[in-house]
Amino acid sequence: MTILSQTDPLAATVRIASSGLQAQGTRLRVIAENIANADSTAATAGGDPYRRKTISFDTAMDRASGSEVVKVKQIGRDRSDFQLVFDPSHPAADDKGYVKRPNVQPLIEMMDMREASRSFEASVNVIEQSRSMMGRMIDLLRG
């Protein structure tokens, strides 16, 4: 016998928070990849370096609980211009001596990482509170 059904509000809350954890976890991985490649250059002269990745979210209906959850809609590429740095001795320099640098701005990535971390932490707190409420409800039913 199960105490909580799939349509129970606490179970739905946990499903929603779990989807937030998954989405923010993916966001953190994308941000980490951007930071790791912030200094990458092209492998060939005049080639394009690493292009910053972006992430967008969407909602989806969770049929089991009847609630809307968050999901990753798309991982795309930032189409902003690359930075040009004059360095004729660099192996990736073009015929004019310029090297294309990634369009990653570490400060922006760090701010995004902080926001994603806080969202992740908020989802963890929701799950912990839901678990606590479920435990108290079970105690009341026993008692």
Express each pLDDT in 86-135 by its tens digit: 999 999 999 999 999 999 999 999 999 999 999 999 999 999 999 998 88
Examine residue 96 and state whether it is found in any structural domain, yes or no.
no
Examine residue 89 and state whether it is found in any structural domain, yes or no.
no
Query: What would the mean pLDDT of 63-90 be, rounded to a whole number?
Result: 93
Q: b/e string for 44-69 if b means 16 or more Cβ within 10 A?
A: eeeeebbbbbebeeeeeebeebebeb
Amino acid identity, position 10: L
Where does the pLDDT of residue 1 fall: very low under 50, low under 70, confident under 90, or very high at 90 and above? Answer: very low
Q: How far apart are the first and last CA of the chain?
A: 18
- Cα 16 vs. chain centroid, distance in angstroms? 16
User: Which residues fall within 8 angstroms of residue 15, CB to CB, at 6 or more apart?
Assistant: 62, 64, 65, 67, 69
Examine residue 86 and state whether it is found in any structural domain, yes or no.
no
Examine residue 119 and state whether it is found in any structural domain, yes or no.
yes
pLDDT digits (tens, 9 = 90+) for 45-69: 989 999 999 999 999 998 877 889 9
Q: Supply the pTM of this predicted model.
A: 0.84
Where does the pLDDT of residue 42 fall: very low under 50, low under 70, confident under 90, or very high at 90 and above? Answer: very high
Q: Would the pLDDT of 2 be above 70?
A: no
Examine residue 20 and state whether it is found in any structural domain, yes or no.
yes
Examine residue 2 and state whether it is found in any structural domain, yes or no.
no
Examine residue 32 and state whether it is found in any structural domain, yes or no.
yes
Are the beta carbons of 3 and 136 closer than 8 angstroms?
A: no
Domain span holding position 128 = 9-39+53-78+104-142
Where does the pLDDT of residue 24 fall: very low under 50, low under 70, confident under 90, or very high at 90 and above? Answer: very high
Examine residue 47 and state whether it is found in any structural domain, yes or no.
no
* Residue of 99, 75, 79, 78 whose CA lies nearest to 87: 99
Q: What is the pLDDT of residue 5?
A: 53
Tokens found for residue 40: 């990458």
Q: Number of folded domains in the chain?
A: 1
